[in-house]
Structure 1
Amino acid sequence: MASTSLQLLGLVLAVLGWVCGALVCAAPLWRVSAFVGGELVIAQVTWEGLWMNCLSQTTGQIQCKTYDSTLALPTSTQAARSLTVLSLMLCLLALLLGVMGAKCTHCMGDANQSSKARLGRLAGVLFIVAALAFLIPISWTAYAIIRDFYDPNVAAPLKRELGPALYLGWGASVLLLLGGALLHVGSSAVEGGKLPIIGRAAKDNPGAAGEAKTQEKSFV
């Protein structure tokens, strides 16, 4: 019962992390314009994401535009796109395997508990790999933003700050890691195919079983 609860809790946390990861991937809030030295116009705020950039004004108007060319983007942005999409696809595969391997489902029948346990452990490992694949672009982008912010050679209008999407991305990675770990632990192998103690003792020592039967007949 406890292992089933761990599986369900791991699946719920992993699904939450997957949803948060999808929001982070689509949100244009990875980089936010920094107000350094009063050289920027405060009436406008620039947002930059993996797929588009937006311009927000104090009047409430927001104008967004997708990037014109993928090949013209920096290599780091292209790698971040690939890793985040790969992470989300791994989460989808892990979710399917996790549902099939959950002890509370009947996808593979109740007789294949060992196979279901292997699927559950594999799903947990995939969630952990997806979390690491998602954590790499988030951490690398944060490092590049902080490095450029404190670099005196970078002009003030080009400096950026950490966007809300990065913080949500770290939270999504933690949820995926915890969910994968709990799912892997909860999917412990079921000990099946073991005979009762009396039966196993009789099988291992047929002579003792014969003597028991003889004594039983003589008593009758």
Structure 2
Amino acid sequence: MASMAVQLLGFFLGLLGFSGTVIATVLPHWRSTAYIGSNIIIATAYMKGLWMECVWHSTGIYQCEIYRSLLALPRDLQAARALMVLSCVTSIMAFIVSVMGMKCTRFARGSLIKSPLVLSGGICFLCAGILCLVTVSWTTNDVILDFYDPFLPSGMKYEIGLAVYLGYASACLSLTGGMVLCWSSSGERSQSSHHRQRNQPSSPPPAFDNIYPSAPRYRPHEALKGNHAPSLCSLSSSGYRLNNYV
């Protein structure tokens, strides 16, 4: 029961990480306008994401424009797109494999394949978290380098957006869920191996013939050899004649 609870905990942590990764991938709040220097106009705010650029007006109106050309995008943005999509796909694979391997599901119940499936799901969650973490770390580094670049105009500088922070949280959740699933799988395998060792005899039982040797062949006692009715021939041969008594 404890192992099942640990598996459910790891699964829900990975599921939360997957949901946050999808939301962070879709949101345009990866880079937001930095109000520094001469850029003091706060009536509008510009945001850049992986798929679109948005403008927020002080009146509450959002205007977004999707990137129309993939090849015209910067290479770092293309790489960020690919890594986040791979992270989402890996999380989906981890979700499916973990559901099949958990103890609370009916798939292959009582089979030895349950533990490897949970381990595979945990590894997939770990890979998804690493991909997401690499992407948001890369974006954070680019934003910080551009922000402190003295040759870049103030109007072209951006700050770290909310989607990046959400990506960090999602990566941590996915990594934690993957580690919990891997740990539950290793504990379950050790318990099953210990149970098999306890049930298995330490040495094969001795042969039946060694425990119960075969009975010796029957040999009549010497005193019982002549214990039978004597015949006429035997009486005559013993020294007594029958005509002596007739």
Q: TM-score, normalization: structure 1?
A: 0.89
Cα distance in 2 for partners of 1:210, 1:27 equals 78
User: Which amino acid is 2:95 matched to?
Assistant: L
Residue 194 (structure 1) shift: 3.0
Q: Identity rate of aligned residues, in percent?
A: 37
| TM superposition shift of 1:195 | 7.2
Output the amino acid matched with 1:200: P
| 2:126 is equivalent to residue 128 of structure 1 | yes
Letter in 1 for 2:122: G
Task: Name the CA distance, whole Å, in 2 between partners of 1:39 and 1:131.
Answer: 36
Partner SS for 2:193: coil
> How far apart are the structure 1 equivalents of 2:87 and 2:145?
26
User: Could you tell me which amino acid in structure 2 is paired with residue 94 of structure 1?
Assistant: A
CA deviation vs aligned residue, 1:134-166 (integer Å, no higher than 9, x gap): 111100001100111111111000000000000
* 2:193 corresponds to 1:191: yes
Could you tell me how far 1:63 is from its partner in structure 2?
A: 0.5
Residue 54 of structure 2: SS of its match in structure 1?
A: strand
Residue in structure 1 matched with residue 70 of structure 2 by the alignment: 70
* 1:92 matched residue in structure 2: 92
- 2:105 aligns with 105
Tell me the C-alpha RMSD between the 2 structures. Answer: 2.1
Q: Check conservation: 2:103, 2:109, Cα contact below 8 A.
A: no
Q: Deviations over 1:53-89 (max 9, x none)?
A: 1000111111011012111100000000001001100
Q: Which protein shows a greater Rg?
A: 2
Deviation at 1:183, TM superposition (A): 0.6
TM alignment of 1:14-163, pairs within 5 A: 14-110=14-110, 112=111, 114-163=112-161
Residue 195 and residue 154 in structure 1: after superposition, are their counterparts in 2 closer, same or farther (change >3 A)? closer
The structure with the greater share of residues assigned to helix is 1
Shift of 1:106: 1.2
What is the alpha-carbon distance in structure 1 between the residues aligned to residue 82 and residue 49 of structure 2?
A: 14
Cα offset, 1:108, TM superposition: 1.3
| Structure 2: distance between partners of 1:25 and 1:128 | 18
* Unmatched runs of 5 consecutive residues or more in structure 2: 213-246
Secondary structure (helix, strand or coil) at the match of 2:45 reads strand
Partner amino acid, structure 2, of 1:148: D
Aligned length: 209
| In 2, Cα distance between equivalents of 1:51 and 1:63 | 14
CA distance in 2, matches of 1:68, 1:195: 63
- Greater RCO (CA < 8 Å, at least 6 residues apart): 1
Q: 1:210: Cα distance to partner? A: 5.8
Q: CA deviation at 1:12?
A: 0.2
Question: Does the 8 A contact of 1:5 with 1:186 survive in 2?
Answer: no
Which stretches in structure 1 are left out of the alignment for 5+ residues?
A: 215-220
User: Does the 8 A contact of 2:11 with 2:177 survive in 1?
Assistant: yes
Structure 1: how far apart are the matches of 2:64 and 2:43? 16
The alpha-carbon deviation at position 191 of structure 1 amounts to 3.0
Kindly provide the amino acid, as one letter, of the partner of residue 191 in structure 1: S
Give the whole-Å Cα distance in 2 for the aligned partners of 1:152 and 1:4: 55
Secondary structure of the residue aligned to 1:60 is coil
- TM-score for both structures, normalised by structure 2: 0.80
What corresponds to 2:180 in structure 1? 182
Aligned to 2:217: none
Aligned AA for 2:88? L
C-alpha deviations, 1:108-147, integer Å up to 9, x for none? 132x1x2110011011011101111111110000110011
Counterpart of 1:72 in structure 2: which amino acid? A
